[in-house]
Amino acid sequence: MRPLLRNGEASRAAKVARGRCRDSCKAWRSRGDDPNFPKYESEAPRLFLRSLDAMSTVYLNGEYIPKDRATISVDDRGFLLSDGIYEVTPAYQGRLFRMERHLRRLQHGLDALRIEYDSAGLPDMHARLIAENSLDSEDIAIVYLQITRGVAPRTHHFPPDGTAPTVYAFAQAFHRPESARWKRGYEAITVPDRRWDRVDIKSIGLLPNVLAQQAAVDAGVQDALLVNDGVALEGSHNNVFAVLDGVVTTHPATHRILHGVTREYVIGLAHSQGIPVEERPVLLEEMRGADEIFFTGTTTEVRPTVRLDGESVGSGKVGPVAQEIYEAFIAGTQVEASAA
Ligand code: PDD
């Protein structure tokens, strides 16, 4: 029988393989129309990336181990009850972007769910995952972190005091779309918002988001705009903005949307570009008549919508406000990445 890889061997092997793959896989990926929807022209790159992924180093409950050796109990409350929260934090050229905002939102969720966890070590853990997976040289990487209420025989109420939370994290490269693709704009459909009323908590219970995004994929579009009582709230995994008479308008940060870190950053960028901003509920009908619509998020950055439910948004082309904000966004992340 093949001996198990010793600690560190898998990540070293993954590093070598990743180095070899970097150019060819990037070229292969960019052939797809959108990095979120790669078109698999052949099985080979997909299988290669999957085995690379299995060799990547992940964090589980204090240990850094190869992903294919990371296992959790079937009694984990995240698995049984979706009893947990998550975060997705970007890193630009290896530097974590607005980590303190992600930590603040994580703490908000931990407090709301009464999960006791000391998050002081998280910045170091994120940085180590990026380094161990050789992602410092990637333009963009993301770190996914999930904290559940831990392992205990299934009950609806909380487990006994002292039950340790399960903490899992992985890092992976993220690929921004080619500029020519971005400039063509994207499409969205509207979907009824079927979520609970505390979506400010970044819960791992994402079934309505999953179904909404699958509806978008089934419709051959990139984004799903969630609508509740005629109000356009946000996307399945991103926030949404409308440009209405020159005013960048987005739902206020209440319990009805996730308080996106990118949303907050984009609002700041708009202010600094002298573009007026208003935070108020936006009716779907207003969205339909908007000059521009764009979504924002860690894995979305700034994504302009040129068709909503098959109808042109504004001119049907990417508008000047989205363009200006996207340029400021890219410049801002570059400054952050090169900061001492
Ligand atoms: N999604 N709204 C929802 C419902 C989200 O799930 C997200 C993030 C956002 C944007 O938040 P931020 O700008 O902090 O990424 C808004 C993450 C990326 C995800 O689920 O993968």
Residues 165 and 186 in one domain: no
Tens-digit pLDDT profile for residues 118-133:
999 999 999 999 999 9
Residue where a domain stops, chosen among 117, 140, 173? 173
Q: Is 202 annotated as catalytic?
A: yes
Tens-digit pLDDT profile for residues 22-75:
554 554 444 434 444 444 445 666 777 777 787 899 999 999 999 999 999 999
Residues 164 and 192 in one domain: no
31, burial (CB in 10 Å: exposed 0-12, middle 13-18, buried 19+): exposed
- Assess if residue 303 is contained within a domain: yes
Q: Which residue ranges in the chain fall short of pLDDT 70?
A: 1-45, 340
Residues 144 and 199 in one domain: no
Residues 127 and 42 in one domain: yes
* One-letter identity of residue 193: D
- Assess if residue 150 is contained within a domain: yes
Residue where a domain stops, chosen among 111, 141, 173? 173
pLDDT of residue 13: 53
pLDDT of residue 72: 98
How many structural domains does the chain have? 2
Verify whether ligand 1 is closer than 6 Å to residue 261 (CB atom).
Answer: yes
**CATH (domain of 113):** 3.30.470.10
pLDDT of residue 132: 97
CA of 257 to the centre of ligand 1 (A): 10
Verify whether ligand 1 is closer than 6 Å to residue 262 (CB atom).
Answer: yes
Verify whether ligand 1 is closer than 6 Å to residue 306 (CB atom).
Answer: no
82 token code pair = 């979706």
**CATH (domain of 189):** 3.20.10.10
274, burial (CB in 10 Å: exposed 0-12, middle 13-18, buried 19+): exposed
Verify whether ligand 1 is closer than 6 Å to residue 263 (CB atom).
Answer: yes
Verify whether ligand 1 is closer than 6 Å to residue 57 (CB atom).
Answer: no
pLDDT of residue 50: 73
- Assess if residue 3 is contained within a domain: no
CA of 263 to the centre of ligand 1 (A): 9
Residue where a domain stops, chosen among 117, 141, 173? 173
Residues 115 and 246 in one domain: no
- Enclosing H/E stretch for 8: none
- Assess if residue 2 is contained within a domain: no
pLDDT of residue 193: 98
Residues 71 and 158 in one domain: yes
The closest-lying atom of ligand 1 relative to the alpha carbon of residue 226 is 4
Residues 47 and 94 in one domain: yes
Residues 147 and 208 in one domain: no
Q: Which of 204, 239, 255 to mutate to test the pocket of ligand 1 (most atoms within 8 A of CB)?
A: 239
Residues 162 and 23 in one domain: yes
Asked if residues 193 and 161 have their Cβ atoms less than 8 Å apart, the reply is no
220 token code pair = 């051959």
pLDDT of residue 40: 44
Query: Which residue lies with its CA nearest to atom 5 of ligand 1?
Result: 237
Nearby residues of 249 by Cβ (< 8 Å), 6 or more positions away = 241, 242, 243, 277, 278, 279, 280, 282, 286
- Assess if residue 4 is contained within a domain: no
Query: Which residue lies with its CA nearest to atom 20 of ligand 1?
Result: 237
- Assess if residue 1 is contained within a domain: no
Residues forming beta bridges with residue 235, ordered by sequence position = 225
User: Domain limits at 146?
Assistant: 9-173
pLDDT of residue 220: 98
Verify whether ligand 1 is closer than 6 Å to residue 299 (CB atom).
Answer: yes
The closest-lying atom of ligand 1 relative to the alpha carbon of residue 102 is 14
Helix boundaries (H) for the chain: 9-31, 43-55, 77-81, 99-113, 122-132, 179-184, 207-218, 261-272, 284-288, 320-338
Question: Which residue is catalytic, options 15, 39, 202, 317?
Answer: 202
Residues 114 and 185 in one domain: no
Residues 79 and 20 in one domain: yes
pLDDT of residue 34: 47
Residues 312 and 205 in one domain: yes
